[in-house]
Structure 1
Amino acid sequence: MSDSCFVVRLNRYLDLTPTEKKAVASLEREPRDYPSGSMLWQEGDDLSELLIVHQGWALSESRLPTGKRQILRFHFSGDMIGASGIAFRDAPSSIVAATDMVVCRFPRRALGETFTEHPRLAALFFSISQMESIDLYDRLRALGRSEGKARLANLFLSIAARMRAVSGQHNPVIRIPLTQSDLGDAVGLTQVHVNRLIRQMTEEKLITRNRSTVTLVDEPKLIELARFVDRFSALDSSWFPSPRG
């Protein structure tokens, strides 16, 4: 169980019992390797399985009527992929490996069994899903009302907040193994515009970028620029049912 990145993430928010840890870790059986560029599933595919990311990065994307790509979310170690679309039989977006990955697939019905046996885990999963939804709403609001630099700042801060929720460490250096095209498709900007903004933010001593790492040099100014709210730093579990077992 110590190797379960999903257990580690959940345990940041709630002191899981040994039985709950075992139930969560059981979802991470049979890890599979996927090379960068692999299509884990396509929009419209039967959503009979969910995924837990053990290593690597994936992106959730949708194709616009113009043929352009819109990246909805990035996924990395400790994330469950597919929970946001669990209300539907068909996948609402495509999932593509942005790097080489190790992913654990499990049938959707296994989640229902886990929730039946461990209602406190159901409350925790639901709460984390809502945190991710509100974070996405924040980013969509930034896309509609913010200039490019604020959009990019919001994206960097959101990724940092999610990674810190898993690691438990407030590190200003975050690994983002994404291309500028990926970043642009996530914030509605061209690759050229993203490149120009990163240079500008570097000159203003807001960030530095070295290949696949971004350092948040002046995080308070980035937060002010993006009007960013960290949706992942705390979770209210006062209403959760008591654990079983």
Structure 2
Amino acid sequence: MANLTDLEERALRELGPIETQRRRGETFQREGDQLSGFHLHNAGWISSSIVLRGGKRLIQKVHLPGDILGTPSMALQTAADTLTCITDAVTAYVPYTRFRDLYTLAPRVAALFTMAVQIERLSLMDMLAAVGNASARARLSRLLLDLRARLAPLGLVEENAFDLPLTQEVLGDLLGLTSVHVNRTIRDMEREGLIARSDHRIKLVDVAKLQHLSPLLLRQLAFEPPWLPPRA
């Protein structure tokens, strides 16, 4: 990740100084809510979803610690999505006015937030490409590799194994598949020795084969491109 000065670290900590403990299943933002800020995601798993006009819920993203929640709503008068805790979680609220001050007090941190939003956009682009044009095995392979890549810097991957607290319904929403199809795909991949499951923990047994199955290569992200403002 980015290297911050002491001043920048302090500015970042002061964005959301008060943490909120949240319970599994809690919805703390609903689509259409009036908003005056966004959330820093500090612990746990959280989903972002919208409701289609026909009433069907669509989960767009599973968020992990370090993500920024609710930034798409900054371009709207009301919340663009619903945020629900998949597990117990911890968030910190950031008023828009406090975020605004970053642009004058710590412009490099504000630029890094711009980078974070672009990384989120890349993730959604890749998900859309995979869901629209890949087989069920390819979609699941990409998702598992993406989760491993995002969880590893948090110290939550051990020998290519990590907790996966997602129901087959949630996985189906993310992959554009029915829960029955998800169940069948997981069982097939287990039989082939690609993955292994134990309760809510999953291990990527054959990473090379999963990478071959994935319709997209993992992105090599540049967290500190040369155009960023210089460190103060």
Q: TM-score range by the shorter chain?
A: over 0.9
AA matched with 2:10: K
Question: Aligned in 2, Cα 1:90/1:123: closer, same or farther, shift over 3 Å?
Answer: same
Aligned to 1:91: 79
Q: Secondary structure at the match of 2:228?
A: coil
Given the alignment, which residue of 173, 186, 201 partners 1:213? 201
In structure 1, C-alpha distance between the alignment counterparts of 2:176 and 2:56, rounded to whole Å: 10
Unpaired runs of 5+ residues, structure 1, are 1-12
AA matched with 2:200: S
In structure 2, C-alpha distance between the alignment counterparts of 1:165 and 1:207, rounded to whole Å: 21
Aligned to 2:52: 64
Given the alignment, which residue of 206, 210, 215 partners 1:222? 210
In structure 2, C-alpha distance between the alignment counterparts of 1:207 and 1:199, rounded to whole Å: 9
Question: Aligned in 2, Cα 1:175/1:116: closer, same or farther, shift over 3 Å?
Answer: farther
Question: Aligned in 2, Cα 1:45/1:239: closer, same or farther, shift over 3 Å?
Answer: same
After TM superposition, give the deviation of residue 25 of structure 1 in Å.
1.1
Whether the 8 Å contact between 2:139 and 2:215 is mirrored in structure 1 is: no
Question: Aligned in 2, Cα 1:232/1:46: closer, same or farther, shift over 3 Å?
Answer: farther
Deviations 1:115-167 (Å, cap 9, x if unpaired)? 32111112211112111211111111111111111111111112222223444
Unpaired runs of 5+ residues, structure 2, are none
Aligned residues: 232
Question: Aligned in 2, Cα 1:224/1:213: closer, same or farther, shift over 3 Å?
Answer: same
Whether the 8 Å contact between 1:48 and 1:89 is mirrored in structure 2 is: no
Given the alignment, which residue of 119, 123, 129 partners 2:111? 123
After TM superposition, give the deviation of residue 88 of structure 1 in Å.
2.0
AA matched with 2:23: P
In structure 2, C-alpha distance between the alignment counterparts of 1:146 and 1:104, rounded to whole Å: 36
Whether the 8 Å contact between 2:156 and 2:162 is mirrored in structure 1 is: no
In structure 1, C-alpha distance between the alignment counterparts of 2:159 and 2:7, rounded to whole Å: 31
Aligned to 2:92: 104
Supply the RMSD in Å over aligned alpha carbons.
1.9
In structure 2, C-alpha distance between the alignment counterparts of 1:78 and 1:185, rounded to whole Å: 23
Moved over 6 A (4+): none
In structure 1, C-alpha distance between the alignment counterparts of 2:221 and 2:199, rounded to whole Å: 27
Given the alignment, which residue of 36, 39, 48 partners 1:48? 36
Aligned to 1:3: none
Whether the 8 Å contact between 2:46 and 2:84 is mirrored in structure 1 is: yes
Residues 1:183 and 2:179 aligned together: no
After TM superposition, give the deviation of residue 225 of structure 1 in Å.
0.9
In structure 1, C-alpha distance between the alignment counterparts of 2:181 and 2:66, rounded to whole Å: 31
AA matched with 1:44: G
AA matched with 1:66: G
Q: Secondary structure at the match of 1:74?
A: strand
Given the alignment, which residue of 209, 227, 231 partners 1:239? 227
Percent identity between the two aligned chains: 35
AA matched with 1:138: D
Whether the 8 Å contact between 1:17 and 1:243 is mirrored in structure 2 is: yes
In structure 2, C-alpha distance between the alignment counterparts of 1:38 and 1:73, rounded to whole Å: 16
Question: Aligned in 2, Cα 1:220/1:61: closer, same or farther, shift over 3 Å?
Answer: same
